[in-house]
C-alpha cells in the first residue's frame, strides 16, 4: 500500500495546526467550523492511501482542510489571522484548491463553496445567503416598527423580539 504525506504548510513549532479529511460540509450545522465534517489528522503525518477514503460515502477524490496556523504576528487583543488551506488529493500529490485567512469564522464561509465543489457537490443547488444583508434588512424593519410605536411600548416590543430570537436560536 502506498503511503501519503499529509500537507504541513507552516513549520512553526508550537503553532496551533490541524488537518481534517473532509467527508462533507453540512450547511445546516450550528456553527461554521462544525459544518466541516470528517476525520482529524496531524499535519505532516503519513497515512495509508486507502485511509483517505475510509468508506464509500466519502468523496471519491479526498479533500483535506488544513489549519496551517497563524499567518503573521499578533499580540494581545490584536490576534493573528490563521491560514486555512483546502487540498484535493490527485494521484500521488495534493493540489491546493483554495485558501483563506481570518481571525474569526469568516474562513468557514469562504471555503464552503470550494470544498463542496472539490467533493463533487458543485452541481447541487445551494443557496448562498449573505448574513450581513439579511441583518441589515431585519434592522431596518425593526427601526421602522419601533418608530411607529409609542415610547412606552418599545421595551415591550424589544422583549417580544428578544424572546422570539432566543427561541429560534435553540430550535
DSSP string, 23-85: EEE-TTSSSTGGGEEEEEE-TT-EEEGGGGS-STTS-SS-EEEEEEEESS--BTTBPPPEEEE
The predicted pLDDT at position 77 comes to 67
**Segments forming the whole domain that contains residue 98:** 3-118
DSSP state of 105: T
Residue 125 within a domain: no
The predicted pLDDT at position 127 comes to 46
Residue 126 within a domain: no
User: Which tens digit of pLDDT belongs to each residue from 76-120?
Assistant: 667 788 999 999 999 889 999 999 999 888 899 899 999 999 998
Q: Identify the three-state secondary structure at position 92.
A: coil
Same domain, 108 and 140: no
Same domain, 72 and 150: no
User: Which tens digit of pLDDT belongs to each residue from 112-145?
Assistant: 999 999 998 654 444 456 777 778 888 888 888 8
Q: Are 4 and 84 in contact (CB under 8 A)?
A: no
The answer, as to whether pTM is greater than 0.85, is no
Burial of 157 (0-12, 13-18, 19+ CB in 10 A): middle
Amino acid at each position: 500500500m502506498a503511503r501519503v504525506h499529509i500537507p504541513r504548510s507552516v513549520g512553526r513549532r508550537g503553532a496551533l495546526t490541524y488537518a481534517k479529511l473532509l467527508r462533507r460540509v453540512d450547511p445546516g450545522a450550528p456553527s461554521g467550523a462544525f459544518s466541516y465534517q470528517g476525520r482529524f489528522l496531524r499535519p505532516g503525518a503519513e497515512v495509508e492511501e486507502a485511509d483517505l477514503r475510509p468508506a464509500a460515502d466519502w468523496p471519491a477524490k479526498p479533500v483535506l482542510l488544513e489549519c496551517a496556523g497563524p499567518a503573521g504576528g499578533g499580540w494581545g487583543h490584536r490576534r493573528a489571522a490563521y491560514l486555512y488551506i483546502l487540498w484535493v488529493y490527485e494521484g500521488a500529490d495534493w493540489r491546493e484548491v483554495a485558501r483563506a485567512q481570518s481571525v474569526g469564522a469568516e474562513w468557514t464561509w469562504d471555503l464552503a463553496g470550494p470544498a463542496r465543489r472539490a467533493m463533487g457537490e458543485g452541481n447541487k443547488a445551494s443557496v448562498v445567503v449573505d448574513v450581513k444583508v439579511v441583518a441589515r434588512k431585519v434592522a431596518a424593519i425593526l427601526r421602522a416598527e419601533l418608530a411607529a410605536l409609542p415610547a412606552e411600548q418599545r421595551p415591550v416590543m424589544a422583549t417580544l423580539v428578544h424572546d422570539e430570537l432566543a427561541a429560534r436560536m435553540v430550535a
